């Protein structure tokens, strides 16, 4: 990626999710080019920094830090742990980057649009230096790991670029940057850009101590890191490393602490979540089903959602499916399938379509009440209209409860980027839009079907005169919500009656009398149906 041209062409955009607040809605900004003196680049490839010192050795007034979080749930966990490390080192975390001594931009580089958004956020943070010259700027995340040298060269506004292996030493690095910035900003501007990246892997660190960016009742639980699947379009293994399961006991300790902090909704994440434990070998037979049972043992937990699962026979064992069927808290499975045409799947280096169809049928039979979510790619090289039509028919047949569709992004360094048969951008967008429209119709029908029913929802926040909640079918950030007419306490699990729809969202009434009447009506309908079946 040409960082110089990209950075100069992009305007300063709204910052993404900040320290402890949800992301603002995008807003247009006046294009700006941030300039600063030429900076030297100092590359550090030494072993990762040691763990941070105990909090007691640091003064409580070491400075303030704000973080802009971009990208996926795994980046969110990284950001939460980084912020907690900063607090333990005596740095005060603030929500507003404009009020911070140091701004951390935690970047994403999964696809081209994510890289552009990351550059926009870096430029927006750099622009703050014009008003607050002592502000330090640190770049972390996947773009830092993947493009460390290029970032430091093309964006001299950056003070440090830090990769995954060096996250543990980030608070001390920030303190050092702030010390120089306060003493002499001109000296700081002329100093070398500090690039500390290390190996392409994400070390497991204790993740129970977090400065949460999610509501306190919801948490992402990282069960594994890295990936061995080698999908031809995906660059992630090159900078997040090979698949590794988090040690089971560390994972259970994290669950214990998170439950004690009020978590009721666990979203399990990894690049390949359902493969958990398969790298342990014969010495340790604990697998994802053991993790699920460990979480479900806490009565406070209402929802367990599996995100980023992968369709392989060894990843979907009978033991795992049996455990899911026996665990009522498991309400949601996300399985990105990417396509269904066998020719396209072969080019993607993905599992065969025949197995995927059989697996979906098995999951629907064994887990009839679990929400199934998937994502697909439109415009993959060599995708014909016949391939696209096959995918459209598949989405129509499967009627996924939730579904996302993305345009193919050619990522340098991937086998797919070298494939012939690039799809015209307008054709790819038209194909994507057709699937999106189809899925919107499906979800609108599903939403209407829920009107009159009763369900439990988890309240996320008070808004206006009511509350915004999520059902068992709604993962945070990526799915819809339930608008409850009454203002309810965040974190409460409340039984409501669905009284209407708003687009793909539901509208609900939490009045106990309304809910009780709906439940009586539902019981009567079931009784009538059972009598009719017995008579037949």
The domain spanning residue 413 has which CATH number? 3.80.30.20
Please name the helix (run of DSSP H) or strand (run of DSSP E) that holds residue 29, with its range, or none.
none
CA pair distance 170, 177, nearest whole angstrom: 10
Contacts of 463 (CB under 8 A, 6+ apart): none
80 lies in a domain? Answer: yes
205 lies in a domain? Answer: no
Q: What is the pLDDT, as a whole number, of residue 5? A: 31
* Global confidence as pTM: 0.84
Range of the domain at 185: 3-196
Give the end of a domain, one of 137, 161, 196: 196
Q: What is the pLDDT, as a whole number, of residue 533? A: 64
Sign of CA dihedral 144, 147, 152, 154: negative
Residues 24, 147 within the same domain: yes
Q: In residues, how long is the chain? A: 536
85, 91, 94, 98: CA torsion to nearest 10: -120
The domain spanning residue 524 has which CATH number? 2.40.50.140
Q: From the CA atom positions of the chain, what is the Rg in Å?
A: 24
Q: What is the pLDDT, as a whole number, of residue 239? A: 84
Q: Per residue in 49-99, pLDDT tens? A: 444 444 434 444 579 999 999 988 999 999 999 999 999 999 999 999 988
261 lies in a domain? Answer: yes
Contacts of 456 (CB under 8 A, 6+ apart): 302, 471, 472, 493, 494, 495, 496
208 lies in a domain? Answer: no
| 82 neighbors 66 (Cβ within 8 angstroms) | no
Under-50 pLDDT residues of the chain: 1-17, 20-60
Q: What is the pLDDT, as a whole number, of residue 191? A: 57
Residues 309, 239 within the same domain: yes
329 lies in a domain? Answer: yes
Residues 435, 486 within the same domain: no
Q: Per residue in 287-337, pLDDT tens? A: 999 999 999 999 999 999 999 999 999 999 999 999 999 999 999 999 999
213 lies in a domain? Answer: no
CA pair distance 238, 242, nearest whole angstrom: 8
Q: What is the pLDDT, as a whole number, of residue 15? A: 43
Please choose, from the candidates 150, 98, 151, 106, the residue with its C-alpha nearest in 3D space to the C-alpha of residue 124: 98
How many folded domains does the chain comprise? 3
Q: What is the pLDDT, as a whole number, of residue 52? A: 43
Give the end of a domain, one of 196, 227, 252: 196
Half-sphere exposure of 87 (CA within 13 A, CB side): 15
Q: What is the DSSP string of 171-232?
A: HHHHHHHHHHHHH-HHHHHHSPEEEE--SSS------SS---SS-TTEEEEE-EE------T
Please choose, from the candidates 449, 435, 349, 445, the residue with its C-alpha nearest in 3D space to the C-alpha of residue 393: 435
Residues 345, 251 within the same domain: yes
Residues 524, 414 within the same domain: no
Residues 313, 426 within the same domain: yes
Q: What is the pLDDT, as a whole number, of residue 7? A: 37
Q: What is the pLDDT, as a whole number, of residue 49? A: 44
Residues 164, 239 within the same domain: no
Residues 384, 264 within the same domain: yes
246 lies in a domain? Answer: yes
Give the end of a domain, one of 427, 446, 465: 446
Residues 387, 483 within the same domain: no
């Amino acid at each position: 990626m040409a960082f110089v041209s990209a950075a100069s062409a992009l305007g300063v955009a709204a910052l993404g999710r900040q320290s402890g607040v949800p992301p603002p809605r995008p807003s247009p900004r006046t294009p700006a080019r941030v300039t600063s003196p030429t900076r030297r680049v100092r590359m550090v490839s030494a072993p990762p920094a040691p763990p941070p010192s105990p909090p007691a050795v640091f003064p409580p007034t070491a400075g303030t830090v704000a973080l802009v979080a971009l990208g996926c749930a795994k980046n969110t966990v990284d950001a939460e742990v980084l912020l907690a490390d900063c607090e333990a080192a005596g740095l005060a975390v603030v929500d507003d980057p404009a009020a911070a001594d140091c701004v951390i931009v935690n970047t994403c580089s999964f696809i081209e649009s994510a890289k552009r958004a990351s550059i926009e956020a870096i430029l927006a943070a750099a622009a703050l230096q014009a008003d607050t010259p002592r502000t330090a700027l640190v770049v972390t995340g996947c773009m830092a790991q993947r493009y460390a040298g290029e970032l430091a060269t093309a964006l001299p506004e950056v003070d440090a670029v830090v990769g995954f292996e060096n996250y543990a030493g980030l608070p001390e690095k920030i303190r050092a940057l702030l010390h120089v910035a306060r003493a002499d900003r001109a000296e700081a501007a002329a100093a070398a850009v500090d690039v500390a990246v290390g190996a392409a892997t994400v070390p497991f660190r204790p993740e129970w101590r977090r400065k949460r960016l999610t509501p306190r009742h919801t948490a992402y639980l990282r069960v594994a890191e890295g990936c061995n699947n080698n999908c031809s379009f995906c660059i992630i293994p090159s900078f997040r490393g090979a698949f590794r399961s988090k040690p089971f006991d560390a994972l259970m300790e994290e669950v214990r602490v998170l439950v004690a902090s009020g978590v009721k909704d666990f979203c399990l994440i990894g690049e390949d979540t359902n493969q958990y434990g398969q790298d342990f070998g014969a010495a340790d037979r604990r697998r994802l089903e053991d993790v699920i049972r460990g979480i479900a043992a806490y009565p406070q937990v209402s929802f367990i959602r599996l995100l980023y699962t992968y369709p392989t026979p060894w990843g979907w064992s009978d033991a795992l499916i049996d455990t899911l069927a026996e665990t009522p808290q498991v309400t949601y499975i996300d399985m990105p399938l990417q396509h269904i045409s066998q020719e396209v799947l072969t080019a993607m280096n993905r599992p065969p379509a025949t197995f995927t169809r059989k697996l979906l049928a098995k999951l629907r039979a064994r887990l009839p009440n679990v929400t199934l979510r998937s994502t697909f790619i439109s415009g993959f090289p060599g995708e014909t209209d016949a391939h696209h039509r096959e995918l459209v028919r598949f989405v129509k047949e499967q009627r996924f409860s939730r579904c996302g569709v993305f345009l193919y992004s050619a990522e340098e360094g991937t086998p797919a980027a070298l494939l012939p048969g690039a799809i015209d951008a307008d054709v790819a967008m038209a194909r994507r839009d057709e699937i999106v429209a189809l899925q919107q119709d499906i979800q609108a029908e599903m939403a209407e079907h829920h009107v009159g029913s009763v369900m439990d929802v988890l309240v996320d926040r008070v808004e206006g005169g009511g509350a915004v909640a999520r059902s068992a079918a709604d993962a945070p950030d990526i799915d819809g919500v339930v608008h409850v007419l009454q203002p309810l306490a965040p974190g409460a699990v409340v039984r409501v009656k669905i009284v209407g729809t708003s687009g793909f969202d539901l509208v609900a009434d939490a009045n106990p009398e309304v809910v009780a009447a709906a439940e009586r009506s539902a019981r009567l309908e079931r009784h009538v149906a059972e009598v009719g079946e017995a008579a037949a």
